[in-house]
């Protein structure tokens, strides 16, 4: 089972990101569940959503405290919320930012956990280019697909088309395509540096 925790703020499409992940998993013939955790938070307050993906039925229903993957849609949370809490030592982190890990102050964390894979993706910039708004969820889901291979590019496109019909779906599909290509190239570059 792959357990994914998504961090962001109210109004940034965190719940939609988890839903898109689970829908894409369904389209790939897997079992999945997605759910948020929040109370009466206002717009801009920290929000967490969860997604589990497996090849067999999922019985667990509790929040994910030990994720395999952490998606961070708002990098301002890095130093406000324990986004890395419980993360698998061999886990994956994908952060929505155009800044480098060094610029984010995460170089030391990466050095302390050499088996952890940490990537950045300018998801908001890509979304702004296509949508005119910095809604990063489609880009983050496509980035997850490109890095992990847990869900396919085609399944992400199907999930986006189902969630966002018409022109909005086409624009979000363009966001996802660019993010997938960007992330696949970044993953290949990182693999080349480590070999």
Q: Comparing C-alpha atoms, which of 165, 142, 139 is closest to residue 152?
A: 142
- List helix spans (H) across the chain: 14-27, 107-112, 123-131, 137-148, 153-163, 166-194
Classify residue 47 as left (phi > 0), alpha (psi -120 to 50) or beta: beta
CATH of region 2-99+113-194, choose from 3.40.710.10, 3.40.920.10, 1.20.144.10, 1.10.260.40: 3.40.920.10
Q: Report the pLDDT value the prediction gives residue 79, as an integer from 0 to 100.
A: 83
**Rounded Cα–Cα distance for residues 56 and 114 (Å):** 31
Q: Extract the tokens encoding 164.
A: 């966002």
In 3D, which of 83, 190, 97 has the Cα closest to residue 140? 97
Report the alpha-carbon angle 186-1-69, nearest 5: 35
Question: Would you state the pLDDT for residue 39?
Answer: 57
Looking at residue 183, what is its pLDDT? 95
Q: Where are the domains of the chain?
A: 2-99+113-194
User: In this structure, are residues 16 and 27 in contact, taking their beta carbons and an 8 Å threshold?
Assistant: no
**Tens digits of pLDDT across the chain (195 residues):** 999 999 999 888 899 999 999 999 999 999 999 998 765 556 778 889 999 999 999 998 888 999 999 999 999 999 888 999 999 999 999 999 999 989 998 988 888 888 899 999 999 999 999 999 999 999 999 999 999 999 999 999 999 999 999 999 999 999 999 999 999 999 888 777 665
pLDDT in tens, 83-97: 999 999 999 999 999
pLDDT at 40: 53
Name the pTM for this structure: 0.93
- Radius of gyration from C-alpha coordinates of the chain: 15
pLDDT for the residue 190: 78
3-state SS, residue 64:
coil
Q: Report the distance separating Cα 116 and Cα 111, nearest Å.
A: 9
């Amino acid at each position: 089972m792959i357990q994914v925790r998504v961090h962001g703020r109210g109004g940034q499409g965190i719940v939609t990101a988890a839903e898109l992940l689970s829908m894409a998993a369904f389209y790939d013939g897997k079992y999945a569940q997605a759910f948020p955790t929040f109370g009466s938070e206002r717009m801009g307050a920290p929000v967490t959503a969860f997604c589990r993906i497996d090849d067999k039925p999922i019985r667990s229903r509790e929040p994910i405290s030990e994720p395999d993957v952490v998606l961070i849609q708002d990098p301002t949370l890095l130093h406000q919320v324990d986004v890395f809490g419980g993360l698998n030592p061999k886990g994956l982190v994908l952060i929505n930012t155009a800044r480098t890990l060094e610029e984010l102050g995460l170089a030391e964390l990466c050095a302390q956990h050499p088996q952890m894979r940490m990537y950045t993706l300018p998801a908001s910039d890509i979304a702004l280019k296509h949508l005119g708004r910095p809604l990063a969820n489609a880009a983050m889901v496509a980035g997850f697909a490109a890095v992990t291979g847990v869900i396919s590019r085609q399944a992400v496109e199907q999930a986006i088309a189902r969630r966002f019909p018409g022109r909005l779906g086409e624009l979000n599909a363009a966001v996802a395509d660019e993010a997938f290509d960007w992330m696949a190239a970044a993953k290949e570059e990182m693999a080349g540096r480590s070999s």
